[in-house]
């Protein structure tokens, strides 16, 4: 029978993130009958959007991510001192337990908890995205007809991915606030009262750029630069560039134009040639990796005693019930040794057909993918005294088959067997038979309720996790009737 879910879990993912470029500042002059020379009134370009990773319990792996994530660029400044709009951020969801390694670039921020609300109105992304809407609707020829391009217009040509990744640009080389003006560009038609409108369209569009997926691993990988461990945590991985200055910035409030920073007098020609290209957004190449949720996964049929065992092994207090599916989510416990600590997950009970999503099905199986070693917890008492349960060796076979049906090779990881409920009458004989039927694998007889055999099991788990006694169960080695 073919597994229903054939897609492999993606737990390692390379991501190229690029913040939106800043919009260009506008160079325009407001002229009138009385003022032929005109006064500069070009607004600043808007800031580009950020690329944000947000930790969420709603996603399990990286399969929903795209390799290239680009935030929107800021809108261009416009005449009448209208600043460009802020480029829209691009936020993507990553699973809980995401570890970020940095291959190229740098992270502009550290992990932070999502703010509750109260956004700065100038920061609301995508309020008016003039550039994207205009550029998507118009052909470059249309735009040229409307805007006179300058020599810098070849900034429009999208750089190849490799070129841009080679030299990550720090987003904030200088601080220009695009927020000072209350006017946001609102009209696409030429406003009255100006005669010249130079636009420097430096739009960089990497979406659609075919980038080599297998860039050689850089030797300067910075490992574990950040971890997202709680839902709601966010991190900005690429920051939008600041918008370029409009020519008004150079000439505020005076007939003779002055540089706001140095206070030097500047000529009208200087004002016209003011550097108004928005800054490029920062770039980063990341390697995302999923942390395993636990070192050891306790796998067993419902009611086998997994939660009881976790409680006996650690200080965890999982809910124990005499009915199936008491455990709906994995409970985690810590096993503390003198020199090490191991995490153990009690995974919800598995039934035949779980790979077809019966019982808790896939939810359960997905948890197993994120553990390093497996401890199969078998109920020795399930079939004794005329009970209608499944004998432990068949439980073991069913468990392994379900893992394999779900994903081939899942049962290959190092494992041991816990023979639970050894206290029950007749369980000793069943245990002996189990040892004969499942040779070559460590089997630990345990009474989880009383804590008997638990310290031996703890030693066995430690050796397994440390790789001192690597033992893998093979389906063919189980002797069935």
Ligand X SMILES: Nc1nc2c(ncn2[C@@H]2O[C@H](COP(=O)(O)OP(=O)(O)OP(=O)(O)O)[C@@H](O)[C@H]2O)c(=O)[nH]1
Q: Which residues bind ligand X (CB under 6 A)?
A: 300, 302-308, 320-322, 324-327, 348-349, 420-421, 423-424, 447-449
With respect to ligand X, which residue has the nearer C-beta, 29 or 393? Answer: 393
Q: How far is the CB of 366 from ligand X (least distance, A)?
A: 16
With respect to ligand X, which residue has the nearer C-beta, 206 or 380? Answer: 380
With respect to ligand X, which residue has the nearer C-beta, 211 or 325? Answer: 325
Q: How far is the CB of 345 from ligand X (least distance, A)?
A: 12
Where residue 118 falls (left for φ over 0; alpha for ψ -120 to 50; beta otherwise) is left
Task: Using alpha carbons, list the distances in angstroms from residue 47 to 32, 63, 126, 259.
Answer: 31, 30, 11, 22
DSSP string for residues in 335-369: EE-SS-EEEEEEPPP--TTGGGT-TTHHHHHHHHH
Q: How far is the CB of 426 from ligand X (least distance, A)?
A: 12
Q: How far is the CB of 413 from ligand X (least distance, A)?
A: 20
Q: How far is the CB of 312 from ligand X (least distance, A)?
A: 8
Where residue 114 falls (left for φ over 0; alpha for ψ -120 to 50; beta otherwise) is beta
With respect to ligand X, which residue has the nearer C-beta, 10 or 454? Answer: 454
- CA–CA–CA angle 400, 406, 412 (5° rounding): 45
Q: How far is the CB of 333 from ligand X (least distance, A)?
A: 12
With respect to ligand X, which residue has the nearer C-beta, 225 or 447? Answer: 447
Closest CA to 104 of 219, 10, 26: 219
Contact of 412 with 369, CB cutoff 8 Å: no
Q: How far is the CB of 378 from ligand X (least distance, A)?
A: 10
Q: How far is the CB of 403 from ligand X (least distance, A)?
A: 16
Angstrom distance (rounded) from CA 233 to CA 221:
23
Q: How far is the CB of 410 from ligand X (least distance, A)?
A: 19
Position closest to ligand X via CB:
349
Q: How far is the CB of 107 from ligand X (least distance, A)?
A: 41
Output Rg (C-alpha) for the chain, integer angstroms. 32
Angstrom distance (rounded) from CA 114 to CA 106:
21
With respect to ligand X, which residue has the nearer C-beta, 75 or 445? Answer: 445
How many C-beta atoms surround the C-beta of residue 395 within 10 A? Answer: 25
Given the DSSP bridges, would you call strands 51-56 and 233-238 parallel, antiparallel or unpaired? antiparallel
Residue 62, class by beta-carbon neighbours within 10 Å (0-12 exposed, 13-18 middle, 19+ buried)? buried
With respect to ligand X, which residue has the nearer C-beta, 87 or 305? Answer: 305
Tokens representing 231 are 């839902």
With respect to ligand X, which residue has the nearer C-beta, 91 or 320? Answer: 320
With respect to ligand X, which residue has the nearer C-beta, 36 or 322? Answer: 322
Tokens representing 254 are 């005076």
Closest CA to 150 of 189, 200, 102, 197: 200
Q: How far is the CB of 423 from ligand X (least distance, A)?
A: 5
Where residue 103 falls (left for φ over 0; alpha for ψ -120 to 50; beta otherwise) is alpha
Contact of 51 with 70, CB cutoff 8 Å: yes
With respect to ligand X, which residue has the nearer C-beta, 266 or 449? Answer: 449
Contact of 302 with 351, CB cutoff 8 Å: yes
With respect to ligand X, which residue has the nearer C-beta, 266 or 454? Answer: 454
Closest CA to 20 of 44, 47, 48, 46: 48
Angstrom distance (rounded) from CA 101 to CA 226:
7
């Amino acid at each position: 029978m073919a597994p229903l879910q054939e897609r492999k879990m993606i737990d390692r993912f390379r991501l190229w993130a690029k913040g939106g470029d800043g919009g260009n500042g506008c160079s325009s002059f407001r002229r009138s009958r009385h003022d032929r020379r005109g006064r500069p009134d070009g607004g600043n370009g808007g800031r580009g959007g950020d690329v944000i990773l947000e930790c969420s319990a709603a996603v399990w792996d990286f399969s929903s991510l795209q390799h290239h994530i680009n935030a929107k660029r800021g809108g261009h400044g416009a005449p009448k001192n209208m600043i460009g709009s802020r480029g829209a951020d691009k936020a993507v969801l990553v699973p809980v337990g995401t570890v970020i390694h940095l291959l190229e670039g740098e992270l502009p921020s550290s992990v932070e908890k999502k703010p509750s609300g109260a956004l700065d109105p100038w920061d609301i992304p995508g309020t008016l995205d003039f550039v994207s809407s205009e550029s998507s609707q118009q052909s470059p020829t249309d735009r040229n007809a409307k805007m006179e391009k300058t020599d810098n217009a070849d900034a429009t040509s999208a750089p190849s991915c490799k070129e841009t990744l080679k030299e990550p640009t720090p987003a904030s080389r200088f601080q220009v606030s695009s927020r000072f003006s209350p006017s946001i560009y609102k009209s696409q038609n030429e406003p009255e009262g100006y005669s010249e409108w130079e636009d420097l369209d430096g739009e960089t569009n990497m979406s659609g750029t075919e980038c080599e997926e297998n860039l050689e691993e850089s030797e300067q990988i910075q490992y574990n630069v950040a971890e997202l461990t709680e839902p709601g945590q966010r991190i900005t991985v690429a920051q939008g560039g600041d918008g370029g200055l409009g020519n008004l910035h150079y000439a505020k409030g005076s007939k003779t134009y002055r540089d706001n920073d140095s206070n030097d007098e500047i000529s009208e020609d200087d004002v016209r040639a003011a550097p108004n290209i928005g800054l490029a957004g920062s770039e980063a190449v990341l390697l995302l990796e999923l942390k395993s949720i636990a070192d050891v996964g306790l796998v067993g049929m419902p009611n086998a005693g997994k939660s009881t065992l976790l409680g006996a092994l650690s200080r965890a207090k999982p809910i124990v019930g005499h009915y199936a599916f008491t455990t709906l989510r994995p409970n985690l416990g810590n096993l503390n040794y003198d020199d090490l600590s191991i995490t153990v997950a009690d995974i919800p009970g598995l039934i035949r057909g779980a790979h077809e999503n019966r019982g808790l099905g896939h939810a359960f199986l997905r948890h197993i993918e994120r553990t390093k070693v497996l401890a199969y917890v078998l109920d020795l008492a399930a079939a004794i005294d005329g009970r209608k349960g499944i004998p432990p060796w068949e439980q073991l076979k069913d468990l392994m088959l379900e893992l394999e049906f779900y994903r081939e090779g899942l049962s290959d990881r190092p494992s041991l067997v816990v023979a639970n409920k050894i206290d029950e009458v007749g369980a000793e004989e069943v245990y002996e038979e189990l040892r004969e039927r499942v040779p070559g694998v460590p089997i630990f007889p345990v009474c989880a309720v009383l804590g008997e055999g638990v310290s031996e099991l703890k030693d066995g788990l430690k050796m397994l996790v440390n790789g001192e006694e690597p033992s893998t169960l093979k389906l063919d080695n189980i002797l069935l009737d």
